[in-house]
């Protein structure tokens, strides 16, 4: 079994790599229906976390996750900062609450609800929530990591059929239909990177 230190470091590196490799693709998706900066914003956030990885991996897991969330809020430079930041801050706080014996799927569910409140968005609005909710459902079902990753990728693709109701893409109305949402796409990339890392280094 890995220590928290190895786990935090491994996950930071896996997420950083996934975003750096796909930053241009995310910008391309965002250029179609938004302001074109989702990839550079996410890369800026992941670089900030990556540069701080030595300190972060010395923290207990809940505190590391919460601190990573705060770093994303400070560094991303777009709406994705508060959204991903809220997700991680809420997960970290709930994991850290001693009296909280809830399983991770429940904690994730509460954190995703907090993201929905932060963005005043719902399922089907063509946002990262359209990946987070299905991922949480798979976790409740205790699905295999590979199936969680697959569900995330399929869910991101399904946002192409949706009409954007929140964010810059909502200004396009029906013209937003036919394009994958950049936030949903980055969320699927990160989910896949996390699942792949856990499968490789933490065989269940």
Q: Which residues bind other proteins (CB under 8 A)?
A: 35, 37, 41, 44, 73-75, 77-79, 81-83, 85-86, 118-119, 166-168
CB 38 within 8 A of CB 179: no
CB of 76 to other proteins, least distance (A): 8
In the complex with other proteins, which residue's Cβ is closer, 57 or 79?
79
CB-wise, 14 or 164, nearer to other proteins?
164
Alpha-carbon distance of 143 to 134, in angstroms, equals 11
Six token digits for residue 86: 């809220």
**In the complex, what is the shortest distance from the CB of residue 41 to other proteins, in angstroms, rounded to a whole number?**
7
Q: To the nearest whole angstrom, how small is the minimum distance from the Cβ of residue 167 to other proteins?
A: 5
Asked whether the CA dihedral 124, 24, 149, 50 is positive or negative, the reply is negative
Nearer to other proteins, 62 or 85 (CB): 85
Provide the minimum distance between the beta carbon of 73 and other proteins in the complex, in angstroms, as a whole number.
5
**How many CB atoms within 10 Å of residue 169?**
27
CA distance 34 to 25: 13
In whole angstroms, give the CA distance from residue 65 to residue 51: 15
Of 78 and 134, the one with the shorter C-beta distance to other proteins is 78
């Amino acid at each position: 079994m890995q220590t928290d230190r190895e786990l935090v470091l491994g996950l930071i590196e896996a997420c950083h790599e996934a975003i750096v490799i796909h930053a241009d693709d995310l910008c391309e998706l965002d250029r179609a229906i938004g302001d074109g900066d989702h990839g550079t914003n996410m890369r800026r956030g992941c670089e900030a976390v990556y540069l701080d990885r030595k300190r972060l991996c010395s923290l207990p897991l809940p505190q590391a996750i919460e601190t990573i969330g705060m770093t994303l809020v400070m560094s991303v430079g777009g709406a994705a900062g508060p959204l991903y930041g809220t997700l991680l801050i809420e997960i970290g706080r709930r994991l850290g609450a001693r009296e909280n014996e809830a399983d991770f799927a429940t904690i994730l569910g509460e954190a995703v609800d907090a993201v929905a409140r932060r963005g005043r968005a719902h399922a089907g609005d063509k946002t990262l929530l359209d990946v987070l909710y299905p991922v949480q459902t798979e976790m409740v079902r205790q699905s295999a990591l590979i199936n969680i990753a697959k569900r995330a990728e399929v869910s991101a693709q399904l946002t192409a059929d949706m009409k954007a109701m929140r964010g810059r893409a909502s200004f396009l109305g029906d013209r937003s239909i036919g394009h994958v949402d950049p936030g949903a796409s980055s969320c699927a990339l990160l989910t896949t990177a996390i699942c792949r890392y856990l499968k490789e280094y933490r065989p269940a």
